A and B are shown apart, each in its own frame.
Chain A
Amino acid sequence: MQALTNKAQAVNRKPMTFLERLYLINIIKGMMITFSHMFKKQPTIRYPEEKREFSPVFRGLHVLNRDEEGRERCTACGLCAVACPAEAITMEAAERIEGEENLYREEKYAAKYEINMLRCIFCGLCEDACPKDAIYLSETFAPANFTRKGFIYGKPDLLIPNPKTEAEAYAEAKGVEA
């Protein structure tokens, strides 16, 4: 059969010599490589005590943002939900009533807002779609859980602390500016 390329190499079918048949030299060669790794830098990180730094573009758990006055920015426009390729986001909108102006930025707000972290693929399209700067992907990931129930994240789990009333928690949630 004619070769299609000239990259093919014939297999060496020469019978092995006595030394080669002993395998000892090759075993020692392999052991040397293993041994040399003892003097190299360890790539392992002791996870819970020590944490690897995330890339600045890492996309983790979502955060629902507030404005400087502590009002929720989300207006339940549904653009994140329609952009979501995994259909993880659902919401229920409500009208702001008198007396709630310090809670919600716009006339309409998300009374319920849920992200199913089991479905979420952390693509960040919701962040791109948001016209109100309301949703951001943070640098943390969803903690493990034994049941599936804990992965339905509602508004209490997602909202950033209020910068007016819980300034400390807000600063902690915001983290240091990179």
Chain B
Amino acid sequence: MSEQTFFKVTVDGITIEVPAGTTILQAARKIGGEVAPPAMCYYSKLKGSGGKCRTCLVEVAKGSEKDPRPMPKLVASCRTTVMDGMEVKNITSEKVVEARAGVVEFLLLNHPLDCPICDQAGECHLQDLSFDHGKSKTRFEFQKRTFKKHDLGKNIQLHMTRCILCYRCVFTADQLTNKRVHGILDRGDHAEIATHIEKSLDNEFIGNVIDVCPVGALTDKTFRFKNRVWFLKPMDAHRDCPSCSGRVTLWNRGDEVYRVTARKDEWGEIEDTPDGKPGWICNTCRFDKKEATDWVIEGPRAISRASVISQGHYAGNVGMTLPTETFKAVNGGRTPHLLMDIHDESEVNQQNIHLGQIQGPSHGDTFNKTENAS
């Protein structure tokens, strides 16, 4: 690769050399941290994605070394390639900050803000984006759009009202599966993700649309309402899967597997496997392997300190093994006279109900039909 040319690009005052053809967003991500613009629709592992949501807008203060004029308008950094000597302003530009607040306002216009119900809450890119860049008030005074509910089969739940039309799931189906059955129907305000007519998504790799969805529009039905993500323990695990890499993150409560997702990097995208391919996982791994014995646990997953998911989690292997019971040793070998086992009293986390094994969300009778009332 000796003839590959490298371009110097400066983002927010930090200079980096990247190969020609790199987008501004990728260059900024190479620098990392706050310099990287947020992206809702762009997904580096999906060809053709990007350019739709406008959250990654940046200001180009200097076009290139040869043509130093600034670009007249803010540009979408996910679709603009770098030029030699280009100077880009991201968070240091007031115009960008203002534009991004406007984009967030547009994205939230029709968003139902049902985060208390939404399973994506806590790992939702739209939540992060509006927290970082949005305003706390809305000027929208009208009815939000609603849709007729579509059933996408037994594994994937669609909430069209939450969708921001990023097209990531469409690209995923195009590039990972042999036949795409869902897509965007209608246009404008009526545009919606749907199948024509009422098909279920059942390709072996279609489950990845859940991972690429930046909001809670596509969620895992087998995990639906089971628990909040920040009360679960993310664990890296793998299994010998004939159809995919088998490298996943398990979301456990105790030893029970509640949810299986692919491993995500700091940009919320699927991590590469050691051989350099994106680590998409198959539906069998994602939806059907909910037994702890199906997996080889590698250790706790590192979660960003800023994320709510890291609450109650500690560094290293803390909490991985049960602490030894010291009561008998310090009490002269006697067991305590009065000891309240919380499971005798509490009706939450009953030991004979295995929520992880239940297909689909639990209902009122799930918890009441048991004989654990004593």
Contacts and interface: CB of A to CB of B under 8 A. Distances in A.
A92 B117 contact: no
A95 B231 contact: no
Interface in A53-95: 75-79, 81-82, 90-95
Nearest to A152: B345
A111 B367 contact: yes
B367 A75 contact: no
B239 to A, nearest CB: 28
Contact of B346 (A76, A82, A107, A152): A152
Given A93-B226, A108-B225, A149-B345, A78 B231 contact: yes
Contacts of B117: 75, 77, 106-108
Nearest to A93: B225
Contacts of A116: 342, 346
B115 interface: yes
A95 B225 CA distance: 7
B364 A77 contact: no
Contacts, number: 79
A106 B114 CA distance: 10
Contact of A79 (B116, B224, B345, B346): B116
Contacts of B121: 77
B228 A77 contact: yes
B226 A75 contact: no
Contacts of B361: 94-95
A174 interface: no
B230 interface: yes
A38 to B, nearest CB: 45
A82 B348 contact: no
B362 interface: yes
Nearest to B119: A108
Given A77-B117, A90-B346, A95-B224, A111 B230 contact: no
Looking at B114, B230, B347, the one whose CB has the most chain A CB atoms below 10 A away is B347
A100 interface: yes
B15 interface: no
B230 A82 contact: yes
A131 B118 CA distance: 13
Main secondary structure of the interface of B (DSSP, over half): loop
Contacts of A154: 347
Interface string B333-374: 000000010100111110000010000011110110000000
B246 to A, nearest CB: 30
Contacts of A100: 364
A117 to B, nearest CB: 12
A29 interface: no
A111 B227 contact: no
Contact of A148 (B225, B228, B340): B340
A95 B362 contact: yes
A92 B114 CA distance: 18
B311 interface: yes
A4 B309 CA distance: 53
A90 B342 CA distance: 12
Given A91-B348, A94-B364, A95-B362, A149 B340 contact: yes
B109 interface: no
Given A78-B228, A91-B348, A111 B364 contact: yes
A94 B347 CA distance: 14
Interface string B217-241: 0000000111110110000000000
A97 B340 contact: no
A91 B350 CA distance: 11
A111 B366 contact: yes
Contacts of A77: 115-117, 121, 228
Contacts of B231: 78, 81-82
B115 A95 contact: no
A94 B115 contact: no
B349 A90 contact: yes
B347 A82 contact: no
A90 to B, nearest CB: 4
Contacts of B227: 78, 93
A93 B349 CA distance: 11
Interface of A: 75-79, 81-82, 90-95, 97, 100, 106-108, 111-114, 116, 131-132, 148-149, 152, 154
29 contacts: A76-B225, A77-B121, A77-B228, A78-B227, A79-B116, A82-B228, A90-B349, A91-B348, A92-B347, A92-B355, A92-B367, A93-B226, A94-B225, A94-B362, A95-B225, A97-B363, A97-B364, A106-B114, A106-B116, A108-B117, A108-B225, A111-B362, A111-B363, A114-B347, A131-B115, A131-B116, A132-B116, A149-B340, A149-B345
